[in-house]
Chains A and B, each alone.
Chain A
């Protein structure tokens, strides 16, 4: 046997490697959960509540049971004793209130879309047909729908709790000893400074991953095997075990190809628990795949806050104090990190600015709507949106140029490491550099000139320029800090690096990719570390039996925590290989150095003897001649727990044109320069930024989950929940500046959420900037043409009109293929007038 490694290319870190994982995906050789077919497999269909809040009087399943192919119909009552309660991993206060969260509702439903019964049948179509036959008798209860009214307890989402307030959580810099007293400074500013007070609405969004969630459970082996479209196979396994009282060792969870998540698949879902229960009851493999409508309705939503802010500054523009009061909509239940999601923004409203005092108070409120939880950025987009809007408002108040005002107040590069008013230590950054680069790429001055010209001309199409200079906390998270925040788990990540006899390398990672390109990036890390070829590294993940230890993928944590674990494990491989290499070279281990994949005696020069990592691996495998007392294995594991968060930052600039006659907003230019630390793969980093931008821009302009006054989700399909298309977006200009993070060896800061966090305020600021001279000082998101138009027409008054729930016509009769359905039409769509319900 010989060592057959590929010749090594140049340094990998920083190389724009095309992705390893693409080949299968572009040829359709994919493993989505819904592709799985197992012998004897049964299919599930859910019966969901049409009411936001109702008592379940009876569930009649007789007709459904008699339908063709139906094996079982399961109601909440059938499983009340065994289904446990879905987990909330983050009780933010000791006295937090929360209702039990059953997978199948037993006697009451608390949101429209909640599962009340499950049909198990031989085919998916039979299950769906029979689900129509389940007859549920409800008694409607008053529903808590409007967030502010819910906070005032006008109607109770869960009458037994006696209040809609789940918890109140506060951070105060004076109390924490990290800053001054916010009220004192605001009072002082009212006398001889400026105080800006605003209230913003951060609307409800739906993550809208493209692959609908799907789960298959096979109970026929020694273990229950669950395939699920999840971001968190490890957490899911643990939670299934604790929720259902099954031994953790009897559960294996596999996340095969997963089609996006964005936080939306960071959950332990009722549907996963139900599929598990159905498989256990029937003894046969069961599958559930949701429809898109079900996904929009019942997969968790994100954001949904009212944000009240008070900012105090000196007359010269120096910011002093920031007071933040958030009302956050939990929806009907607390999911895995529902309660903590707004808290993830708690330390970020102060952002990159040097406030003297800061206070953040969050009131978590229940309503009878789909529950909320993490969505790309989770808490930090809300924070960034609010503070960047406030900085613009302060600039207007003072008659200052908004970028210059930011500059005056941000942390200067020579001040790093900088301890923020929240007590977080920002390790590195250079806001000046990123901003300078962004302004140059954007032609900031040129666009400002054009803006002035258009204003002077009274052009009906006005130009607006929006700024967002942001930072975020990533690399979730130091376990100790999570403990202080009362989170139910740690934030470490695990990796194994295994040297095969042929010199190939297997990397096992606890991170669980679903589009991020970990296989490529991890290969690059290991190739550099061990001096092997990129192609010789195989990355294994997403199966709790293959990668038994991990905390999965969310919070821009994979590279900075998971990648660092890989690097540490690879370091250990080198350490273990050293004495063996020394033995092979007949040298002392201390005299060896390891460069470019070879061990050689330090200073031996060109012709000196050396041995490659592959040769050491083979010798270790053979184990014929190893030094005394050395185990025949190079395989190494590492579990990395970060000591601090990482703090990516950047400057985003957006130019929009606003048609003042129609309210139409069109994007003219978008430039962002992000500092995400050391870049392992520029191609992947760029892609992450692009995708994040589109989502953040979509919050600003297009997306909102809208409920009618009955609590029915009106934007419950892709017709009404308007994701951006290629025609809505533009090509972006992206670039990077680099100040390496100091908290991991790679120097990376995390990039998954940056684009999404930063872009929303840049866009909204630009829209308002375009019409500010017409007297507009706020427009509620999404800034639809109607809202923009109304804001212009009612200029001077702050508009806070909700998106109206009436649906508009889905069909344009003049377009092809949109004829009103007539006899013989088989598409089954509703009549084109749109009944709205």
Chain B
């Protein structure tokens, strides 16, 4: 067991973890952040995407011990109380989710994408989301949502 200190969604956690434990399992099973989910075992689906120190990572591809001393933001940490993050709002407005399983990862990746490139073209959005699979929406409305969020200034500092 290894002791780690991780800040998750603004709260400091000190925990003992097995060295082999994946960050996503740490978040779900130990911290209780079940909003972040697992969709595959080959780092292909992106359902587990969170932010590590503000950059998106696939939390199934990071060990919990690697997050020691770092800050993790999950889908549960981006709204401001009842006020949705502009990306969450955009997903709702554009019907960019159906079953919602890919959605946490998709939203976290979309935010990261706009942080990198606040005004992406459709093609840039599509390539920026390439690591996140959705089986329900055909991506059409997800692309629209990211465009709406870009218009609302996400990535340009106006995300909230």
Among candidates A24, A517, A690, A826, residue contacting B138 with C-beta atoms closer than 8 Å: A690
CB < 8 Å neighbour of A28 from B39, B75, B102: B75
A-chain residues with CB within 8 Å of residue B129 when the two chains form the complex = 725-727
Asked if A26 and B88 sit within 8 Å, CB to CB, the answer is yes
What A residues does B61 contact at CB under 8 A? 827
Query: Which residues of B have CB within 8 Å of A688?
Result: 98
- Residues in chain B near residue A692, CB distance under 8 A: 138
CA distance A21 to B75 in the complex (A): 16
Q: Is B103 an interface residue (CB 8 A)?
A: yes
Does chain B have a CB within 8 A of A651?
A: no
* B143 contact from A292, A726, A826, Cβ within 8 A: A726
Let me know if B99 and A27 touch, CB within 8 A: no
Evaluate contact between B47 and A210: CB separation under 8 angstroms.
yes
B160 within 8 A of A: no
A717-B42, A726-B126 given; A694·B138 CB < 8 A: yes
Pair B137/A691 contact, Cβ less than 8 Å: yes
What 0/1 readout, one digit per residue, does chain B (38-56) give for beta carbons within 8 Å of chain A? 1111101101000000000
CB 8 Å contact bits of A259-271 with B (1 = contact, 0 = none): 1101000000000
Contact residues, B91-139 vs A (CB, 8 A): 91-93, 95, 97-104, 107, 122, 125-127, 129-139
Q: How far is the CA of A686 from the CA of B39 in the complex (A)?
A: 25
- Answer whether A211 and B141 are a contact pair too, CB < 8 Å, given A30-B35, A262-B135: no
Does A683 interact with chain B (Cβ within 8 Å)? yes
Which secondary structure dominates where chain B touches chain A? loop
B92 touches A691 (CB 8 A): no
Contact of A260 among B36, B76, B95, B99 (CB under 8 A): B99
Q: Give bound CA distance, A46 to B142, whole Å.
A: 36
Q: Is there an interface contact between A691 and B135, defined as CB atoms closer than 8 Å? A: yes
Q: Is the CB of B134 within 8 A of A732?
A: no
B31 within 8 A of A: no
Contact assessment for B97 and A22 in the assembled complex, using a CB-CB cutoff below 8 Å = yes
Residues of B within 8 A of A460 (CB): none
**Complex CA–CA separation, A725 to B134 (angstroms):** 8
Interface centre among B20, B34, B63 (most CB of A within 10 A): B34
Residue interface mask A20-44, B partner, CB < 8 A = 1: 0111111111101011000000000
Q: Is B28 part of the binding interface, using a Cβ–Cβ cutoff of 8 Å?
A: yes
B102 engages A210 (CB within 8 Å): yes
Decide if B20 touches A19 in the complex (CB within 8 Å): no
Contact A211 B99 (CB under 8 A): yes
Inter-chain contact A18/B91, CB cutoff 8 Å: no
Contact B40 A718 (CB under 8 A): yes
Per-residue CB proximity of A708-739 to B under 8 Å, as 1/0? 00000000011100011111010110000000
Q: Which residues of chain B come closer than 8 Å to A22, judged between CB atoms?
A: 91-92, 97, 100
Q: Is A419's CB within 8 Å of the partner chain B?
A: no
- With contacts A26-B84, A292-B41, A719-B44 known, is A687 near B92, CB below 8 A? no
Tell me whether A718 and B42 are in contact (CB under 8 A).
yes
- In the assembled complex, the Cα of A257 lies from the Cα of B99 at a distance in Å of 8
- Bound-state Cα–Cα, A687 to B133, Å: 16
Q: Which chain B residue lies CB-closest to A260?
A: B99
Q: Is there contact, CB below 8 Å, between B39 and A292?
A: yes
Task: Tell me if A621 counts as interface (CB < 8 A to partner B).
Answer: no
Q: Does B18 contact A (CB under 8 A)?
A: yes
**A25 near B76: Cβ-Cβ < 8 Å:** no
* A27 vs B76: C-alpha distance when bound (angstroms): 6
Interface assignment of A125: CB less than 8 Å from any CB of chain B: yes
B135-A826 in contact (CB<8A): no
The distance in angstroms between the C-alpha atoms of A29 and B45, with both chains bound, is: 20
CB pair A210–B99 under 8 Å, yes or no, is yes
Contact indicator A726/B125 (Cβ below 8 Å): yes
Q: Which of B18, B76, B84, B100 gathers the greatest number of chain A CB atoms within 10 Å?
A: B100
Q: Is A170 an interface residue (CB 8 A)?
A: no
Q: Is the CB of B76 within 8 A of A29?
A: yes
Q: Which residues of chain A are within 8 angstroms of B122 by Cβ–Cβ distance?
A: 731
B residues 1-60 near A (Cβ < 8 Å) are: 18, 20, 28, 33-42, 44-45, 47
Q: Mark A620-644, 1 if CB is under 8 A from B, else 0.
A: 0000000000000000000000000
Q: How far does the alpha carbon of A481 sit from the alpha carbon of B100 in the complex, in Å?
A: 35
Contact, CB under 8 Å: A731 / B143: yes
Q: Give the size category of B's interface with A.
A: 35 or more
Cβ contact within 8 Å between B98 and A260: yes
Digitize B140-159: 1 where CB-to-A-CB distance is under 8 Å, 0 elsewhere. 11110000000000000000
Specify the chain B residue showing the minimal Cβ separation from A259: B101
Given the known interface contacts A28-B76, A693-B138, A717-B40, the answer about A259 and B130 at a Cβ–Cβ threshold of 8 Å is no
**Interface assignment of A469: CB less than 8 Å from any CB of chain B:** no
Smallest CB–CB gap between B1 and chain A, Å? 13
The answer to whether B98 and A32 touch across the interface, beta carbons within 8 angstroms, is: no
> For residue B136, which residues in chain A have a CB less than 8 angstroms away from its CB?
210, 260, 515, 687, 691
For residue A381, give the distance in angstroms from its CB to the closest CB of chain B: 16
Chain A residue contacts of B33, Cβ below 8 A: 28
A516 near B98: Cβ-Cβ < 8 Å: yes
**Chain B residue with Cβ nearest A264:** B135
Per the bound structure, the CA–CA distance linking A827 and B22 in Å amounts to 10
B149 CB → nearest A CB, Å:
12
| Given A515-B99, A687-B141, A727-B130, A826 contacting B35 (CB threshold 8 A) | no
Query: Most B CB atoms within 10 A — which of A209, A693, A731?
Result: A731
Q: Separation in Å of the A549 CB from the closest CB of chain B?
A: 24
- Identity of the chain A residue whose Cβ is nearest the Cβ of B46 in the assembled complex: A725
In the assembled complex, which residues on chain B have CB atoms less than 8 Å from the CB atom of A695?
Answer: 135, 138
Across the two chains, which residue of chain B brings its CB closest to A725? B130
- Given A26-B88, A210-B47, does the pair A732, B100 have CB atoms closer than 8 Å? no
What's the least CB distance linking B116 to chain A, in Å?
A: 14
Report the separation of the CA atoms of residues A197 and B79 in the bound assembly, to the nearest whole angstrom: 60
- Among B40, B88, B98, B134, the most chain A Cβ lie within 10 Å of the Cβ of B98
In angstroms, Cα B35 to Cα A27, docked, is 7
A22 CA to B106 CA, complexed, in Å: 14
Answer yes or no: A258 CB below 8 A from chain B CBs: yes
Q: Which of B75, B131, B139, B141 has the most chain A CB within a 10 Å cutoff?
A: B139
Which chain A residues lie closer than 8 Å to B134 at the CB level?
210, 726
Known: A210-B134, A292-B42, A693-B138. A259 touches B34 (CB 8 A): no
Asked if B133 and A725 make an inter-chain contact with CB atoms under 8 angstroms apart, the answer reads yes
Question: In chain A, what residue has the closest Cβ to B34?
Answer: A35
Whether a CB of chain B sits under 8 angstroms from the CB of A113 is no
Q: Is the CB of B37 within 8 A of A515?
A: no
A19, A259, A726, A826: the one contacting B92 at CB < 8 Å is: A19
A514 within 8 A of B: yes
In the assembled complex, which residues on chain A have CB atoms less than 8 Å from the CB atom of B93?
Answer: 18
- Give bound CA distance, A211 to B45, whole Å: 11
A686 and B95 in contact, given A32-B37, A211-B37, A826-B20 (Cβ under 8 angstroms): yes
- List B contacts of A690 (CB < 8 A): 137-141
In the assembly, what is the distance between CA of A724 and CA of B126, in Å?
Answer: 11
Q: How far is the CA of A212 from the CA of B38 in the complex (A)?
A: 8
Separation of A22 and B79 alpha carbons in the complex (Å): 14
A351 at the interface (CB under 8 A from B): no
Q: Can you list 29 A-B contacts (CB < 8 A)?
A: A18-B92, A18-B93, A22-B97, A26-B91, A28-B35, A29-B35, A30-B35, A35-B34, A210-B99, A210-B133, A212-B38, A257-B99, A292-B45, A515-B136, A517-B98, A683-B95, A690-B139, A690-B140, A691-B135, A694-B137, A694-B138, A695-B138, A717-B44, A718-B45, A723-B133, A725-B130, A725-B131, A726-B126, A826-B20
Nearest 4 Cβ contacts at the A-B interface: A28-B35, A25-B100, A259-B101, A515-B99
Known: A26-B103, A695-B135, A727-B130. 11 other contacts (CB 8 A): A18-B92, A27-B88, A30-B37, A32-B37, A32-B101, A125-B20, A209-B101, A259-B101, A293-B42, A687-B137, A726-B142
Q: B residues within 8 Å of A by Cβ?
A: 18, 20, 28, 33-42, 44-45, 47, 61, 63, 74-76, 79, 84, 88, 91-93, 95, 97-104, 107, 122, 125-127, 129-143
